[in-house]
Chains A and B, each alone.
Chain A
Amino acid sequence: SQQGEEDPQALSIQEGENATMNCSYKTSINNLQWYRQNSGRGLVHLILIRSNEREKHSGRLRVTLDTSKKSSSLLITASRAADTASYFCATAAGSGYSTLTFGKGTMLLVSP
């Protein structure tokens, strides 16, 4: 299965701290994406990193990709209570037809 697996399953931190979530996958990819889901809402796309990229930034988000280890990490710096949500990684296979496959997610709780 191409499915990405996030780690940890749950993470609890204080406001101002950094949050790091990891994603591992099994086969070659075209790209890897991170999404956020607030309780009771749809998923929101955060960032897409292609297989030939190693790092990408968007505001307080930093994503790294290590294709040799088949892993990615999402770093949220200076977290806020509003960052409380579930975070999912999704992978698109490297060749041929492929839809995105989502992992089970990391639940992040940021306490004031």
Chain B
Amino acid sequence: DAGVIQSPRHEVTEMGQEVTLRCKPISGHNSLFWYRQTMMRGLELLIYFNNNVPIDDSGMPEDRFSAKMPNASFSTLKIQPSEPRDSAVYFCASSLSEKEKLFFGSGTQLSVL
């Protein structure tokens, strides 16, 4: 298995632009998570999907952030409009259930100038 695949690996954009991050989970995993990692706040859960349905989005910072999972093999995290404080590494992870071990992608390093 190729593992969790994220794209792009790096994204540099200007404030106000729309950013879309993509994730392909491991086949057969029914739980998908989006995390954000910064030095100050550590690893924060943004949103959790189970069987393509958003279960917990309490970590989504504000309405500028949205996430979708149109099918079992694809998810997106969109930021519109982006702000410099959104600069972070965004990770997608998948698992068989929300309490079991997570498999992380390589992350997207986002820089908003």
Q: Mark B89-113, 1 if CB is under 8 A from A, else 0.
A: 0010100001111111111000000
Q: B4 — which chain A residues lie within 8 A by C-beta?
A: 42
Chain B residues with CB under 8 Å of chain A are 4, 33, 42-43, 45, 48, 55-56, 91, 93, 98-107
Are B102 and A43 closer than 8 Å at their CB atoms? yes
Are A42 and B105 closer than 8 Å at their CB atoms? yes
Known contacts A99-B56, A102-B43, A103-B42; A43/B100 CB under 8 A: no
Are B48 and A48 closer than 8 Å at their CB atoms? no
* Complex CA distance for A88 and B93, rounded to whole angstroms: 15
State the majority secondary structure of interface residues on B: strand
Known contacts A42-B105, A48-B101; A99/B33 CB under 8 A: yes
Nearest CB of chain B from residue A63's CB, rounded to whole Å: 13
Q: A43 — which chain B residues lie within 8 A by C-beta?
A: 43, 91, 93, 102, 104
A85 interface residue per 8 A CB criterion: no
Nearest CB of chain A from residue B111's CB, rounded to whole Å: 14
Interface bin, chain A: 20 to 34
Q: B43 — which chain A residues lie within 8 A by C-beta?
A: 43, 88, 102
* Complex CA distance for A49 and B48, rounded to whole angstroms: 22
Are B99 and A45 closer than 8 Å at their CB atoms? no
Are B98 and A97 closer than 8 Å at their CB atoms? yes
Are B98 and A105 closer than 8 Å at their CB atoms? no
Closest B residue to A41 by beta carbon equals B106
Q: B105 — which chain A residues lie within 8 A by C-beta?
A: 42
Q: B99 — which chain A residues lie within 8 A by C-beta?
A: 30-31, 92, 98-100
* Complex CA distance for A90 and B43, rounded to whole angstroms: 10
A44 interface residue per 8 A CB criterion: yes
Contact for B103 among A45, A97, A100, CB less than 8 A = A45
Q: Mark A37-54, 1 if CB is under 8 A from B, else 0.
A: 000011111001000000
**Pairs A–B under 8 Å by Cβ, sample size 5:** A42-B91, A42-B106, A44-B104, A88-B43, A104-B42
